[in-house]
Amino acid sequence: MPILSVDGLEKTFSSANREEKVLKGINLEITKGEITALTGASGSGKSTLLTIAAGLQKSTAGTIIFQNEALTDMNTRQVQAIRAKKFGFVFQHAHLVPFLTVQEQLELMMDTAELKWSKDRRKEEIRSILDLVDMWGHRDSYPGTLSGGEKQRVAIARAVVHKPEMLFADEPTASLDSKRSMEVMKLLRTLSRERNITVLMVTHEEETLEYADTIVQMKDGVIGKGLV
């Protein structure tokens, strides 16, 4: 039973003078607890697929089923609630809130997920995730004082502090050097193993693929042969 399944997904971007079919009927099943990596040439539609699967934009046709519920049938408010409670996001840039400390970024996410955790529980969770990404020492720092790698680690902590079911990551290592990239990949694998978080990520860096359980190759809006 997949946690997320994509069925006949199509996406066409239309502007005044042209139409571009970016996704041409995608079928995909994501297994719970696994790391699935989307890879393929730039412009092949990886980000589009990931963001639609994550409820960040609408598809033109097809369905997305998440935990037996059709994301594609929900209204904006319902999708927003799913994103807040069940999903976590890591983007190419960390996109931290500039005026909140590391710890406050995580608190914001717990508030957004409307968790009914006690004060102590919240503290514990923050401590444990910041320990894991090795940023506990920076808990009171503002994003402006952190390096790129540190910011991305905070972004990952923020993405999972509310214990989401799924983590969506679009080229989380693209802005990092090779050594930092490997650290982030290890971190994602640890999260997936220790916290049973299902990960759907986009990457086009060969070396990061070894951390994936399933690799999905994309080409011109269709899924190519999968390799494991």
Residue 9 structure tokens: 């997904």
CB of 94 to another protein, least distance (A): 7
Residue 190 structure tokens: 């640890």
Contacts made by residues 122-125, CB under 8 angstroms, sequence distance 24+:
125/161, 125/163
**From Mg ion, another protein, ligand ADP, none, interface partner of 13 (C-beta below 5 to 8 A by class):** ligand ADP
CB of 159 to another protein, least distance (A): 8
User: Is residue 68 involved in binding ligand ADP (CB under 6 A)?
Assistant: no
**From another protein, ligand ADP, Mg ion, none, interface partner of 104 (C-beta below 5 to 8 A by class):** another protein
Contact mark string toward ligand ADP, 3..42, x via CB under 6 A: ----------x------x-x-------------------x
User: Is residue 48 involved in binding ligand ADP (CB under 6 A)?
Assistant: yes
**From Mg ion, ligand ADP, another protein, none, interface partner of 211 (C-beta below 5 to 8 A by class):** none
User: Is residue 55 involved in binding ligand ADP (CB under 6 A)?
Assistant: no
d(CA 68, CA 176): 36
Selected from 39, 47, 101, 198, the binder of Mg ion by CB under 5 A is 47
Contacts made by residues 74-82, CB under 8 angstroms, sequence distance 24+:
79/55, 80/55, 82/55
Of 81, 82, 37, 79, nearest in space to 58 by CA: 79
Selected from 6, 45, 89, 109, the binder of ligand ADP by CB under 6 A is 45
Number of residues binding to ligand ADP, judged by CB under 6 A: 10
Give the nearer residue to another protein in terms of CB position, either 35 or 159: 159
By CB under 6 A, name the binding residues for ligand ADP: 13, 20, 22, 42-48
